Amino acid sequence: MPIATRHRMPVLGIAAAGILAWLYMPILSKLVSLWFQEPEYAQGIVLTVLASYLVWDRRNAPCWFQMVEEPVCWRGSWIIIITGLLLLTIGHAATEFFSQRISFFIVLWGLIAYGMGPQAISILWEPAVLMMMAVPLPAIVVDTITLPLKTLVSILAAAMLHVSGYSVVRYGNILDISGFHLEVVSACSGIRSFFALLAITIVLSAGMRSIFSRLSLFFLLVPVVILSNALRIVSTAALSLRFPAHSVEFYDGFAGWAAFLGAFGFIVGVRMAIDRLSVARKGRE
């Protein structure tokens, strides 16, 4: 790179940071306020911490120093930057907050890729995905995903209760268990635990070199979430029928935590098993 261009890079970096602050400060301040004020979106704080940890963990990558000393000025990054700016424009025009918020992380990723080159995509895709997951999805998207999940969890829970010896009649997302009515609400669909476990899986898969192993870990998420939430419904119903002194919400709270911890333990166990298989395979070679 010419010396004059290299000397202009700090100035360009400061200018880019200033433009980003001017464009996105109002948007980001409202997003952060949403994380702290609404418990439903508090996972954004955790996801930000996890993304920051992954970036810090890769701080010694050679391309970081190259970005400062001799930036690549990758032209392909302009596709990412322009895509982010288009989302910002569309979001402003339609008064749609999701597009505006997620555009910041896309533009930031593009600016880093401009200095680091294509390596930025392979090195920073996990932190970038985590930060995009911290942006609340539009309500219409959440409802579209939640409804079939609730139905599937209800069907599976009814089948498991029937096998366990309970008389169950299902009306949509309502289970009639020997005269006791239990509704499978949105919180029991598994949508929240899915995104939380997806973030954990991204962090756990960060050190895995095999693409097949990574995909195997991700593909397990959906059935694990559905099964764990069905077990949550089954255990809540069983406890409520056997010990009616407490409310359904009381049992469901404990069952929810147990289901999440069980799914988390299963994902971690699969990750450890994959590591052991890799070590055993290397030992044979």
Q: Would the pLDDT of 7 be above 70?
A: no
pLDDT at position 70 is: 62
Cβ–Cβ contacts within 10 Å for residue 159, how many? 14
Q: Would the pLDDT of 104 be above 60?
A: yes
Q: Would the pLDDT of 86 be above 90?
A: yes
Average pLDDT over residues 89-110: 89
pLDDT at position 9 is: 55
Q: What is the mean pLDDT of the chain?
A: 80
Asked if residues 252 and 232 have their Cβ atoms less than 8 Å apart, the reply is yes
pLDDT at position 71 is: 64
pLDDT at position 283 is: 67
Q: Would the pLDDT of 2 be above 80?
A: no
Cβ–Cβ contacts within 10 Å for residue 227, how many? 18
Percentage of residues of the chain with pLDDT beyond 90: 6
- Residue 27: CB partners within 8 Å, gap ≥ 6? 97, 100, 101, 104
Q: Would the pLDDT of 4 be above 50?
A: no
Chain position carrying tokens 């070199």: 209
**3 band by pLDDT with thresholds 50, 70 and 90:** very low
Q: In what order do the strands lie in the sheet with 168-171?
A: 168-171, 174-177, 180-183
Q: Would the pLDDT of 41 be above 90?
A: no
Sign of CA dihedral 257, 260, 265, 268: negative
Q: Residue ranges per domain, the chain?
A: 3-134, 140-284
**69 band by pLDDT with thresholds 50, 70 and 90:** low
Per residue in 146-200, pLDDT tens?
888 888 888 898 899 888 888 888 888 888 887 778 877 765 666 777 888 888 8
